[in-house]
Structure 1
Amino acid sequence: MFQVLGHRVYRHLFMAQVIALIGTGLTTVALALLAHELAAGQAGVVLGTALAIKMVAYVIIAPLVGAYAARLPRRALLISLDLIRGTVVCALPFVSRIEHIYLLIFLLNACSAGFTPVFQATIPDILKKEADYTQALSLSRLAYDLENLLSPVVAAALLTLLSFNVLFVLNALAFVGSAALVASVALPAACLKADAPTVWKRITYGLRVYLQTPRLRGLLALSLAVSAAGAMQIVNTVVYVRSSLGLGERDVAIAFAAAGAGSMLVALLLPKILGRVTIRATMLVGGGLLTLGLYLGLLTPAYLELLGLWAMLGAGAALILTPSGHLLKQSCLAEERPALFAAQFSLSHACWLVTYPLAGWLGATIGVAYTFAVLGSVALLACVAAVITWPSHDPERTQPAASSLRP
């Protein structure tokens, strides 16, 4: 997996990704604490709304920027978006009103929604060999898992000495470092075909192929289960730890890290698991873990039990998310992958757009314990839908009928 880091351009881009991810993880913890400071008992509502705004940016802006970004110089665009993100994060410590949080979160994630598709589209142009590109995908997943694990741990250590507002400043510096690494290499220009289809045709084509492929309908259902569990963990951790258990800021950060630890463990074991168990079975087990973990929250766990619960949710999510790229590759031809990956990006984040505000509103209205039950029921229904829509005798490759949707 690590051999691909011998490629200088990719190595610099990967380091830029890791630095930006760690900085963003610090902001996730700091944002939860800022919401608690400004809104107290309504922190879950504020955080859920802010994260829903983030999903709006991802669902709507990312596909549009990804379609038009080929007309812009890649390196200049990536550097500019990093610097804008750093500027926006620097403004968060000075926020005194909740609506200001919403505005800055939208601006921040509008830039991230532009950065991500451009970054992802650049990697295969740098790494021409299929084996190198596969290694890069594995490293990218590992980077996300490391961010989930390390950022909260770093945040917990820093919060013993510093105010949580310092975490925003560190994230801004991370974005500046990411911009510097991108500036240190030359990136290949994007290929733009003269007869490229319109943005609307690109988006709708990917969605149509996705929704007409049984295994991907199953993946979408399981993505809803992931978002139900993830929204509960991200939105209500600060509410449960600070308000229900009466613990401190460090305990909030450690609770976030527990989910990352569960995800990391699965990421390390999954290559051996997939050699013996089908992807469908693996992902359905992940959905079962998410459902069980959410229902166990009805027992109002103590802090150590909560850490185990969050680790279970992280493991369940990783069992679904990590193999999902294999399903997308199986379901299309090579030239169709960008459209299908874009469809997965938009549809999966649309699930989060629903569950983020739901977790925040339910937590403030009916209490955290009952919110566990409601979101557990969402995950259960999603798993049932996946079992029904995804046939157990799934062919390894997509059927030629999907090609009838090509423009």
Structure 2
Amino acid sequence: MIDVLRHPTYAKLFSAQVIALLGTGVLTIALGLLAFDIAGGDAGIVLGVAMSIKMIAYVAVAPLTTAVLARLPRKPVLVGADLIRAGVAMSLPFVTEAWHIYVLIFLLQSASATFTPTFQAVIPSVLPDEGEYTRALSLSRLAYDLESLLSPMLAAALLTVVGYHQLFVGTVAGFCVSAVLVIACRFPHIETPPPTRFLDRLTRGARAFWASTELRGLMGLNLVVATTTAMVIVNTVVLVQGHLDRPQPDVALMLGAYGAGSMLVALVVPKLLDTVADRGVMLTGGIALPILLLAAAAVMAWMEHTGQWTVLLIMWFLLGTATSAVLTPSARLLRRNSSAHNRPAVFAAQFSLSHACFLITYPLAGILGAAIGLPPIALVLVGLGILGALFTALTWRTSADSSKTAEQRGS
């Protein structure tokens, strides 16, 4: 897998991605401390609104900026997004009101919603070989999982010697280094798409999704992943400290188990996809997720506290493996069903549609979960996950049946 880093352009882009991810993770922690300074006991409300703004920016801005910037070269788009993020991070230490945070978070996440799909759309051109591209996807998945583990540890280490305002300075430096690495890359030539109407550019990605049965099926798996991810991200702390009455470090341990499962699958996926079709791997993961979440709901409802902890740790690990089985190969479908001209729009559509699912499942897991309890909300999310998995299975089965029919007619 590491062999792919011998490609100099990809190595620089991957380094830029990792540095930007670490910067974003540290920035999130510093933002929480800033919110507490400004709002005190209402910091949770401030952060909740900020995270909602983040998701809205991801859903709405990604296709919009892709349409506006469609004819610009990819490198200045990536560099500009990094510099905007650096500028926002530089401004955060001077914030004195909650609404300042909201405005800056919208700008920050809008820049991220521009950077991420553009970055993802460049990689297939940098690594045209499918085997190398698959290994790059696994590295990218590992980077996301490691960031979730390393950012809190890095922030904690820094906070022992500096105040949280200095974390913003480090984040600025990270985004600037990311921009420098992108500038140092030699991008392959990608022809500028022909001029079209703005509405056509805005809807290009969504139309590509609807026209492709593979990508329509991917929409169902986006919903499946969002249901279990919402349960893990929103309710792990409630489960560990409220339901099981365990200490704070066990929250990190449980999230670590989830991340370890995800990383394990990311490591084995390149070899696995040499012998198994990517859609088969993804659908297996998509079917496993609601089953595992249903089992977790049963454990939360009926097992004694003494036995719950180990079993739930194993289930969180398995949820991580199934999630990674869906997410790691998914970009192969996007690459296969796009061209160099519409690839940024297709990746932006996936970015937007997948986060639209989180806009549904995060409030469900949090607000409804607080109202009805963890086992019942797990069942609600299981129901949504089953719907998504069924949609994908039926869509891809129809696609396979159509292909067989076409082959029989041709013969």
TM-score range, shorter chain: 0.7 to 0.9
Q: Secondary structure, in 3 states, of the residue corresponding to 1:9?
A: helix
Equivalent in 136, 144, 149 of residue 139 of structure 1: 136
Query: Is the alpha carbon distance of 1:77 and 1:221 closer, same or farther for their aligned partners in structure 2, counting shifts above 3 Å?
Result: closer
Structure 1 residue 180: Cα displacement: 3.0
Cα distance in 2, alignment partners of residues 79 and 34 from structure 1: 27
Q: Which amino acid aligns with 1:13?
A: L
Cα distance in 1, alignment partners of residues 394 and 365 from structure 2: 26
Question: How much is the aligned-residue C-alpha RMSD, in angstroms?
Answer: 3.8
Contact map agreement 2:67 2:345 (CA 8 A) in 1: no
Contact map agreement 1:16 1:182 (CA 8 A) in 2: yes
Query: Is the alpha carbon distance of 1:398 and 1:344 closer, same or farther for their aligned partners in structure 2, counting shifts above 3 Å?
Result: farther
Residue equivalent to 1:214: 213
Contact map agreement 1:286 1:320 (CA 8 A) in 2: yes
- In the TM superposition, what are the counterparts of 1:142-291 in structure 2 within 5 Å? 142-153=139-150, 155-156=152-153, 159=156, 162=159, 165=164, 170-185=170-185, 191-193=191-193, 195-245=194-244, 250-291=249-290
Contact map agreement 2:138 2:270 (CA 8 A) in 1: no
149-158 or 226-235, which deviates more: 149-158
Equivalent in 97, 114, 130 of residue 128 of structure 2: 130
Q: Secondary structure, in 3 states, of the residue corresponding to 2:400?
A: coil
Contact map agreement 2:236 2:254 (CA 8 A) in 1: yes
Query: Is the alpha carbon distance of 1:179 and 1:251 closer, same or farther for their aligned partners in structure 2, counting shifts above 3 Å?
Result: farther
Cα distance in 2, alignment partners of residues 396 and 18 from structure 1: 41
Query: Is the alpha carbon distance of 1:308 and 1:216 closer, same or farther for their aligned partners in structure 2, counting shifts above 3 Å?
Result: same
Query: Is the alpha carbon distance of 1:13 and 1:31 closer, same or farther for their aligned partners in structure 2, counting shifts above 3 Å?
Result: same
Q: Secondary structure, in 3 states, of the residue corresponding to 1:256?
A: helix
Q: Deviations over 1:323-380 (max 9, x none)?
A: 2233334445665544443333332222122222222222333233332222122112
Contact map agreement 2:221 2:286 (CA 8 A) in 1: yes
Cα distance in 1, alignment partners of residues 90 and 238 from structure 2: 25
Residue equivalent to 1:57: 57
Q: Which amino acid aligns with 1:88?
A: V
Query: Is residue 319 of structure 2 the alignment partner of residue 322 of structure 1?
Result: no
Residue equivalent to 2:409: none
Query: Is the alpha carbon distance of 1:102 and 1:295 closer, same or farther for their aligned partners in structure 2, counting shifts above 3 Å?
Result: farther
Cα distance in 2, alignment partners of residues 305 and 29 from structure 1: 30
Q: Which amino acid aligns with 2:349?
A: A
Cα distance in 1, alignment partners of residues 68 and 290 from structure 2: 39
Residue equivalent to 1:389: 395
Cα distance in 1, alignment partners of residues 128 and 24 from structure 2: 30
Q: Which amino acid aligns with 1:146?
A: A
Q: Which amino acid aligns with 2:142?
A: D
Query: Is the alpha carbon distance of 1:140 and 1:36 closer, same or farther for their aligned partners in structure 2, counting shifts above 3 Å?
Result: farther
Contact map agreement 1:332 1:398 (CA 8 A) in 2: no
Cα distance in 1, alignment partners of residues 362 and 379 from structure 2: 15
Q: Which amino acid aligns with 1:21?
A: L
TM-score, L = length of structure 2 = 0.79
Q: Secondary structure, in 3 states, of the residue corresponding to 1:196?
A: coil
Cα distance in 2, alignment partners of residues 287 and 35 from structure 1: 36
- In the TM superposition, what are the counterparts of 1:296-335 in structure 2 within 5 Å? 296-298=295-297, 299-300=299-300, 302-331=308-337
Q: How many residues align?
A: 395
Q: Deviations over 1:217-267 (max 9, x none)?
A: 222111100011112222233444455455565444443332221111112
Cα distance in 2, alignment partners of residues 295 and 206 from structure 1: 34
386-395 or 156-165, which deviates more: 156-165
Cα distance in 2, alignment partners of residues 280 and 244 from structure 1: 37
Cα distance in 2, alignment partners of residues 396 and 141 from structure 1: 31
Cα distance in 2, alignment partners of residues 274 and 79 from structure 1: 33
Residue equivalent to 2:293: 294
Residue equivalent to 1:405: none
Q: Secondary structure, in 3 states, of the residue corresponding to 2:397?
A: coil
Q: Which amino acid aligns with 2:152?
A: A
Cα distance in 1, alignment partners of residues 120 and 314 from structure 2: 33
Residue equivalent to 1:404: none
- In the TM superposition, what are the counterparts of 1:11-90 in structure 2 within 5 Å? 11-27=11-27, 43=44, 49-72=49-72, 74-89=74-89
47-56 or 373-382, which deviates more: 47-56
Contact map agreement 1:92 1:101 (CA 8 A) in 2: yes
Could you list the runs of 5+ residues in structure 1 that have no partner in the other structure?
Answer: 401-407
Structure 1 residue 84: Cα displacement: 2.8
Q: Deviations over 1:71-114 (max 9, x none)?
A: 55654543342233234345657778765554333221101012
Query: Is the alpha carbon distance of 1:186 and 1:389 closer, same or farther for their aligned partners in structure 2, counting shifts above 3 Å?
Result: closer
Contact map agreement 1:47 1:235 (CA 8 A) in 2: no
* Percent of aligned pairs sharing the same letter: 43
Q: Secondary structure, in 3 states, of the residue corresponding to 1:192?
A: coil
